C-alpha cells in the first residue's frame, strides 16, 4: 500500500491488525526492514505502549531514519532490529533496540548479508542459516529477486522447524515472503502469500 506522510510517500506491506509494517520503501529512495527482537530472545510483556510496526513508520518518515532512531523515545516498546538502505549516501545501517539501549552499526553495502529474528531462532539456528546463505552464494546464484525469493522459500535442510520457510506444528509459520528491488529510479515490491499461493507485484517510481 502507498501512503502519504509528512516527509513523502511510503510504499509498504501493511499489517492488517495494527496498521504498521515490517518492510517499506520511501519515495526518497530509502528502504527499511523490521525484525522482532534485538540480540537474543526476550520475555514479552503483556502489553506495550505501541506496536513496532507503527514505530517503524515513525522512524522511516524522513530523509535520515538513523537519526530518527537515535532520537525517538522507545521506552515501553518491544525489542526490535531495523536494517536500512540509505539512498543518498549509498550506505547500509543496522539499528537494534533491546528494551534498554539503542545500538547503531554501519554495514558494508556491497556485501550480501543475512539477518534472522532473535525471537524466532536461537544462536545455533541463526548460525545454520548463515551457513546456508554462504553455501547459496558459493553456488553462484544470480543475485536477483527470483533467486532470492527461491532461497527464502526453499532454503534449509528439510526441517520445517528451522528452514527459512518454517512451520512449527501449524502454530507459528511463514505466511508471506516479501522482496523489494531497488532499481535506478524505481522500486518493485514482490509479495508471495505462502498460504494462498498468490503473488503480487507493485512497481513504484521514486525520486
> Given a cut of 90, is residue 7 above it in pLDDT?
no
Residue 72, C-alpha cell as written in the block:
525517538
C-alpha cell of residue 170: 501449524
Q: How many separate domains does the chain show?
A: 1
CATH, residue 57: 3.60.60.10
Residue 81 lies in domain: 2-205
Q: If pLDDT is split at 50, 70 and 90, which confidence band does 31 have?
A: very high
Work out the percent of the chain whose per-residue pLDDT is above 70: 99
Please, which pLDDT band fits residue 25 given cuts at 50, 70 and 90? very high
Residue pLDDT, tens place only, 65-87: 999 999 999 999 999 999 999 98
Q: What is the mean pLDDT of the chain?
A: 91
At residue 61, does pLDDT exceed 70? yes
Taking the alpha carbons at both ends of the chain, their separation in whole angstroms is: 18
Amino acid at each position: 500500500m502507498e501512503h502519504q506522510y509528512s516527509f513523502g510517500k511510503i510504499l509498504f506491506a501493511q499489517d492488517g491488525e495494527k496498521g504498521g509494517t515490517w518492510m517499506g520503501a520511501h519515495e526518497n529512495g530509502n528502504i527499511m526492514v523490521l525484525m522482532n527482537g534485538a540480540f537474543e530472545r526476550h520475555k514479552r510483556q503483556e502489553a506495550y505502549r505501541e506496536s513496532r510496526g507503527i514505530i517503524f513508520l515513525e522512524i522511516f518518515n524522513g530523509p535520515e531514519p538513523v537519526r530518527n532512531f537515535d532520537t525517538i523515545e522507545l521506552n515501553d516498546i518491544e525489542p526490535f532490529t531495523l536494517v536500512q538502505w540509505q539512498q543518498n549516501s549509498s550506505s547500509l545501517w543496522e539499528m537494534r533496540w533491546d528494551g534498554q539501549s539503542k545500538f547503531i552499526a554501519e554495514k558494508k553495502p556491497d556485501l550480501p548479508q543475512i539477518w534472522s529474528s532473535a525471537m524466532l531462532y536461537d544462536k545455533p539456528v541463526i548460525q545454520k542459516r548463515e551457513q546456508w546463505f554462504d553455501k547459496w552464494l558459493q553456488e553462484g546464484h544470480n543475485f536477483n529477486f527470483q533467486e532470492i525469493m527461491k532461497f527464502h522459500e526453499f532454503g534449509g535442510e528439510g526441517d520445517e522447524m528451522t528452514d527459512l520457510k518454517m512451520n512449527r506444528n501449524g502454530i507459528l509459520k511463514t505466511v508471506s515472503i516479501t522482496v523489494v528491488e531497488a532499481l535506478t529510479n524505481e522500486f518493485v515490491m514482490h509479495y508471495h502469500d505462502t498460504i494462498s499461493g498468490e503473488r503480487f507485484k507493485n512497481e513504484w517510481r521514486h525520486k
